[in-house]
Amino acid sequence: MYLPSFSLKGKTALVTGAGRGIGRAIAIGYAEAGADVVIVSRTQSDLEETAEFIHRVGTKAYLFEADVTNKGQVEEIFETLDSEHVTVDILVNNAGMNIRSRALDVSDEEWETIMNTNLRSAFWFSQKAGERMKEAGGGKIITISSVAGHVALRTGVVYASTKAAIIQMTKNLALEWGQYGINVNSIGPWYFKTPLTEKLLADQSYLDDILAVTPQKRVGELPDLVGPAVFLASEAANYVNGQTLFVDGGMSIQGF
Ligand SMILES: NC(=O)C1=CN([C@@H]2O[C@H](COP(=O)(O)OP(=O)(O)OC[C@H]3O[C@@H](n4cnc5c(N)ncnc54)[C@H](O)[C@@H]3O)[C@@H](O)[C@H]2O)C=CC1
Ligand SMILES: C[C@H](O)[C@@H]1OC(=O)[C@H](O)[C@@H]1O
């Protein structure tokens, strides 16, 4: 038999930023693939909406209203999961944000906020999940980067730096943790319509610029991202490590 399983049945996934957008889509997609899902975000009402979808699918949802930039709250999440004997088999570091300042205008506060939200939080969650996965004999860690981590976009140098750092962090964690059966990969999306981007994508001239450099001539739909996220979380990706999968309609290969 050559076809490995794409199912997540019997697994528990933790998804940060699961209150809306890409994180909510991945959390629900993982539930549809059979996983129980630990969902983390800042807004309880958003979490409850995501949990409602998961319950309709028939798997369990564990809700944690937390700020991923607060290390104490990150530690508390894992202490609570440990006390409830919930093992995280799959971690998706999705929470992220952007402040699209020009380089000369970036304030120290903006730098801190973007770096802490997009990069430091992902490292903290990876450390906490990684030490448990090492004990458990393996696991899957997926961090959401961006094409902005691979090519220069007009959406801000600090954001781009966090997304490039995620690509390198992914390689280094894979190098250290592959021996423990842990697969560490990242996904690099191009534009997907979410609360983070909806204002930008509503501007027809901006959208025209996006489509001009996108071979598939459309922005991403959330199922376009959930499929790769399920693949990387499943047994089908057991020998994929340290990679970044760009889900971008071909944008990152666009030349002239
Ligand atoms: N939407 C897009 O076109 C693209 C998004 N991405 C990345 O995908 C990820 C998700 O983006 P979207 O769903 O579009 O964003 P979004 O803004 O729609 O959702 C982000 C989620 O993260 C949560 N979050 C933000 N800061 C948090 C914090 N400090 N503590 C806890 N939760 C926090 C928000 O509450 C929200 O639920 C981000 O890492 C983003 O950089 C990457 C490329 C393109
Ligand atoms: C493709 C980028 O990641 C996208 O561009 C933006 O302006 C948003 O901040 C997203 O990050």
Structure tokens at 58: 């028939």
Q: Count other C-beta atoms under 10 Å from residue 191's C-beta.
A: 24
| CA-based max dimension of the chain | 57
pLDDT of 228 reads: 98
pLDDT in tens, 59-91: 999 999 999 999 999 999 999 999 999 999 999
Which residue has a Cα nearest atom 9 of ligand 2? Answer: 98
Q: Could you tell me if 66 and 74 are in contact, meaning their C-beta atoms sit under 8 angstroms apart?
A: yes
What is the Å distance from ligand 1's center to 3 Cα? 33
Q: Could you tell me if 41 and 23 are in contact, meaning their C-beta atoms sit under 8 angstroms apart?
A: yes
Whether the predicted pLDDT of 252 surpasses 90: yes
> Options 3.40.50.720, 3.40.50.300, 2.60.40.1930, 3.20.20.70; which CATH number does 12-194+223-246 get?
3.40.50.720
Q: Catalytic residue at 159?
A: yes
* Phi/psi at 151 (5° precision): -130, 160
**Is residue 251 helix, strand or coil?**
helix
pLDDT of 189 reads: 98
Average pLDDT of the chain is 98
**Is residue 240 helix, strand or coil?**
coil
Domain ranges of the chain: 12-194+223-246
By C-alpha distance, which of 72, 168, 74, 83 is closest to 130?
Answer: 74
- Does residue 213 have its Cβ closer than 6 Å to ligand 2? no
Report residue 256's pLDDT band, with 50, 70 and 90 as the boundaries: confident
Mutate to test the pocket of ligand 1, among 43, 53, 67, 194 (most ligand atoms within 8 A of CB): 194
pLDDT in tens, 142-172: 999 999 999 999 999 999 999 999 999 999 9
